[in-house]
Structure 1
Amino acid sequence: MMVAGNEYGKIVSIEYAIDKVMDGCTLMVGGFGGVGSPPTLLQEVFDKGVEQLTLICNDTAFPHIGVGPLVKEGRVKKAIVSHIGSNPIAGSLFQEGKMEVEFSPQGILIERIRAGGAGLGGILVDIGMDHEWLSKGKPIVEVDGKRFLLERPLTADVSLVYAKKADPFGNLVYGKSARNTNPLVAMAGNITIAEVEEIVPLGELNPEEIVTPGIFVHYIVKSRGVNWKWAWE
């Protein structure tokens, strides 16, 4: 289907979009174990040779999919994630002190991203209050006689998300479980780039199916499909 106009200037080439991802930037990526991660954008980031990244995502995926190859090649200096157990290379890099890892329980991680996207100052949690390792360096706030840790919000220089459909304004519809963390990641980027399977004319999306409003999306690129062969090379 032909795109009916690009009046908002959001539909761009993948090369133009990836130019926004630079050495040393904070990169937030949607997805869960590679599902819902933007394969074409991540391949372009990998091919560009970007390094010294601070990576914020649910996990470090597997070595050959999602954000895994960036970790595998030592391009990530710090990962803020819920776990790294599916990627043994990430575990080795962490143990050897070659990659810093900041762990957050999955629900807290997602809430921190949501807080960043909503412009909140953080979230209050009681998880980790009794554990020095978990609470180290985190402010303690008392509310109605109960003490909480302040978990700080998370934002990124660039957020990369994956969606099933977009219109030229950047309204996004997600496909089933690939929706996962993408809607909140889309809100938390100073620049948000959406890789989509299909771009449709304005007005064609069912408003009831739109999850991410276009106001959060800066650029849209057409996906080339899922092909992780490059990561094995």
Structure 2
Amino acid sequence: MRDGASFAVGGFGLSGIPAVLIRALYEIGVTGISVVSNNCGTDGGGLGVLLAARRIARVTASYIGDNTEFARQYLAGELEVELTPQGSLAERLRAGGCGIPAFYTPAGVGTPVADGGLPLRHAADGSVAVASPPKEVRAFGGRAYVLEHAITTDFALVRAARGDRHGNLVFAKAARNFNPLAAMAGRITIAEVEELTELDPDEVHLPGIFVQRVLPLTPDQAADKGVEKRTVRTP
């Protein structure tokens, strides 16, 4: 992996994130990277580790969430951020994996998502240094739709509950989230799997054609899962 590369990363908050691969990316020291993910982890968790180390130059995401360092870097002009509707982001990744260059969607019509003007980068004084350009809007059946372009990346990092040696993957419950879509968008996709096993074809969520590398996790690595907001119930 090299400086300036682009990465699609699975997960939603801390659910289903490829934590071992993210840590490996941190340890090899790559910098200036672009990240496409639903969000950018939390303070000290997931992609937030790379963010705090100033390794990320650009993020395409749905929201900033509770990551205060993410918000600080964005508002201080230290980080370029493309915010996109969550459904549009999911479809842009899927389209990239399917070879579809662009598609029309009603999401964002009549807002700065379509009209342009969303801050991509702020200046040090808080003003908008770079704003998003307007996108093409067309009418189909009397309704307006905005053109969204597909996303492909140099690499994709994902996590699966189970996988086989061919790269076929099975995801567990909510951890399925953006993982299959991110895997489809990467030119080289690396999957960390909690259990390496044989799979029945009928249970496969993502076929191995989209996966080039499989990393079996140790039991300790598989069990080490962060909780974004721990909530308990009084007995």
For this structure pair, what is the TM-score category when the shorter chain's length is used for normalisation?
Answer: 0.7 to 0.9
Q: 1:132 to 1:44 in 2, by over 3 A?
A: closer
Equivalent residues of 2:85, 2:108 under 8 A apart: no
1:50-129 aligned at under 5 Å gives the runs 50-129=30-109
Separation of aligned partners in 2, 1:228 and 1:71: 19
3-state SS of paired residue (1:80): strand
Equivalent residues of 2:88, 2:107 under 8 A apart: no
Equivalent residues of 1:65, 1:228 under 8 A apart: no
3-state SS of paired residue (1:161): strand
Separation of aligned partners in 2, 1:220 and 1:198: 11
1:1-233 aligned at under 5 Å gives the runs 21-132=1-112, 134-136=114-116, 137-200=134-197, 204-224=198-218, 225=221, 227=224
Separation of aligned partners in 2, 1:212 and 1:129: 32
Q: 1:159 to 1:103 in 2, by over 3 A?
A: same
Deviations 1:152-190 (A, max 9, x none): 111110000101111111111112211111111111110
Q: In angstroms, what is the RMSD of aligned CA positions?
A: 1.7
The residue type paired with residue 80 of structure 1 is T
Question: Structure 2: any 5+ residue segments left out of the alignment?
Answer: 117-133, 227-235
The residue type paired with residue 217 of structure 1 is V
Equivalent residues of 1:193, 1:217 under 8 A apart: yes
Equivalent residues of 1:34, 1:67 under 8 A apart: no
* Greater RCO structure (CA 8 Å; 6+ sep): 1
The residue type paired with residue 26 of structure 2 is F
Q: Which of structure 1's runs of 4+ aligned residues deviate more than 4 A?
A: 226-229
Structure showing the higher strand proportion among its residues = 2
In the alignment of these two chains, the number of paired residues is 206
The residue type paired with residue 199 of structure 2 is L
TM-score (norm 2): 0.82
Q: 1:127 to 1:168 in 2, by over 3 A?
A: closer
Q: Percent identical across equivalent pairs?
A: 38
Where does residue 121 of structure 2 map in the other structure? none
Where does residue 16 of structure 1 map in the other structure? none
- 1:222 Cα deviation from its structure 2 partner: 1.5
Deviations 1:29-86 (A, max 9, x none): 0001021111111110011111111100010120111111111211111100001122
3-state SS of paired residue (2:34): strand
Where does residue 4 of structure 1 map in the other structure? none
- 1:193 Cα deviation from its structure 2 partner: 0.5
Separation of aligned partners in 2, 1:96 and 1:134: 25
- 1:122 Cα deviation from its structure 2 partner: 1.6
